[in-house]
């Protein structure tokens, strides 16, 4: 019953922030979407688009001489088949090309010219046949292979996924929690107590930032360790980009949640806002593929700014100065969304 000095754990901001963690941690689905899903996605896409050593193409030949000439070719694996078996193998995709004796001692290649493997096999087969017939290169050629980290698809993809993750957890994390509290009249109950409204909103940002550290570490760590995705820029600048991006998306989430009374209403709003960014902001392919007329709109989106800055830092090793524009865009989103959200916020 007495007023005694309170431990730090009993301060309202600490308690509010702890509540955020508990609610998040006890929501199994949220953990999956925030931590596990991006890794699965990165792993899946990383494996699908991995740069493989040039593949050996399987082809068939109906004549022993043809088969032996072709088997000297690079990257070709030749089987000797009779015509019927060869056609059957071609139809079912077990071979991509079938070499047959042609008119007047020539060769006929049966293949599907819409299949890139078929076209490649055609070129390789031709080269092998010509060489077997004694044709020599008139110009000396040699290969210099480029397979360094930083230019592969996974390198391009990972900063995109990181940006998408920051957007999702910022917008969903704040939006659902706030609207749910409003729907349950919990917000109203809280403001009937002496709770500081600023601390309530601050607790969302604090928990967001703490979770951000884990999220970024998990995804970037996974990319770096498993796929060797480069981290060329200074790490503190990468952290700064993530912080700014997360704040921008949190402010946007707060704005979207500032008035909605039902989960359905806020879900609709969030999808409406996030969908264009999933499409245009260059998560999976470069945003520059869209028409020039759309570019001013696309470049102003917070996710585009975040991903461009992340790629500049991680892949190009560019300093802050090089993506100052992106940082300014993110800062503007923070200021505008936060200010508007506070103006509109419905506590009841």
Residues that bind other proteins (CB under 8 A): 1-3, 10-12, 14-16, 18-19, 22-23, 26-27, 181, 184-186, 188-189, 191-195, 348
**Nearest residue (CB) to other proteins, 18 versus 279:** 18
State the minimum distance, in angstroms, from the CB of residue 191 to other proteins.
7
Strands 97-101 and 76-80: unpaired
State the minimum distance, in angstroms, from the CB of residue 18 to other proteins.
8
Residue 303 · residue 167 · CB < 8 Å: yes
**Nearest residue (CB) to other proteins, 232 versus 259:** 259
Find the angle CA(33)-CA(36)-CA(39) to the nearest 5 degrees: 115
State the minimum distance, in angstroms, from the CB of residue 214 to other proteins.
19
State the minimum distance, in angstroms, from the CB of residue 205 to other proteins.
18
Please state, in angstroms and rounded to a whole number, the distance separating the CA atoms of residues 120 and 128.
Answer: 12
Please state, in angstroms and rounded to a whole number, the distance separating the CA atoms of residues 22 and 185.
Answer: 19
**Nearest residue (CB) to other proteins, 26 versus 52:** 26
State the minimum distance, in angstroms, from the CB of residue 199 to other proteins.
9
Residues pairing with 11 in the sheet: none
**Nearest residue (CB) to other proteins, 9 versus 146:** 9
Please state, in angstroms and rounded to a whole number, the distance separating the CA atoms of residues 66 and 339.
Answer: 76
**Nearest residue (CB) to other proteins, 22 versus 83:** 22
Residue among 92, 39, 88, 5 at smallest CA distance from 229: 39
State the minimum distance, in angstroms, from the CB of residue 207 to other proteins.
14
**Nearest residue (CB) to other proteins, 74 versus 189:** 189
Residue 178 · residue 262 · CB < 8 Å: no
Find the angle CA(7)-CA(12)-CA(14) to the nearest 5 degrees: 70
Residues pairing with 58 in the sheet: 77
Please state, in angstroms and rounded to a whole number, the distance separating the CA atoms of residues 308 and 328.
Answer: 13
């Amino acid at each position: 019953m007495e007023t005694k000095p309170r431990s730090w754990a009993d301060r309202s901001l600490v308690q509010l922030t702890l509540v955020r963690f508990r609610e998040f941690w006890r929501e199994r689905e949220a953990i999956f979407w925030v931590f596990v899903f991006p890794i699965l996605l990165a792993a899946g896409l990383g494996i699908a688009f991995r740069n493989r050593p040039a593949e050996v193409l399987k082809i068939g030949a109906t004549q022993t001489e043809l088969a032996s000439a072709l088997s000297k070719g690079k990257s070709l694996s030749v089987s000797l088949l009779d015509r019927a078996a060869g056609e059957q193998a071609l139809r079912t995709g077990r071979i991509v090309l079938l070499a047959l004796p042609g008119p007047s001692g020539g060769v006929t290649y049966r293949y599907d010219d819409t299949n890139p493997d078929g076209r490649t096999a055609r070129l390789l087969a031709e080269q092998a046949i010509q060489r077997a017939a004694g044709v020599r290169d008139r110009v000396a050629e040699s290969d210099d292979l480029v397979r360094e980290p930083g230019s592969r698809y996974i390198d391009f993809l990972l900063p995109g996924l990181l940006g998408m993750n920051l957007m999702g957890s910022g917008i969903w994390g704040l939006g659902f929690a706030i609207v749910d509290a409003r729907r349950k009249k919990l917000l109203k109950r809280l403001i009937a107590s002496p709770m500081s409204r600023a601390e309530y909103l601050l607790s969302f940002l604090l928990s967001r930032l703490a979770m951000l550290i884990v999220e970024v570490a998990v995804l970037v760590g996974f990319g770096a360790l498993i796929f060797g995705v480069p981290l060329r820029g200074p790490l503190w600048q990468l952290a700064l980009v993530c912080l700014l991006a997360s704040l921008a998306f949190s402010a946007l989430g707060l704005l979207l949640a500032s008035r909605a009374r039902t989960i359905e209403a806020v879900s609709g709003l969030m999808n409406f806002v996030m969908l264009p960014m999933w499409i245009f902001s260059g998560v999976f392919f470069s945003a520059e593929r869209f028409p020039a007329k759309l570019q001013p709109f696309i470049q102003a989106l917070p996710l585009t700014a975040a991903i461009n800055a992340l790629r500049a830092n991680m892949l190009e090793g560019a300093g802050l100065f090089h993506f100052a524009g992106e940082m300014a865009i993110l800062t503007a989103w923070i200021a505008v969304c936060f200010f508007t959200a506070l103006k509109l916020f419905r506590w009841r």
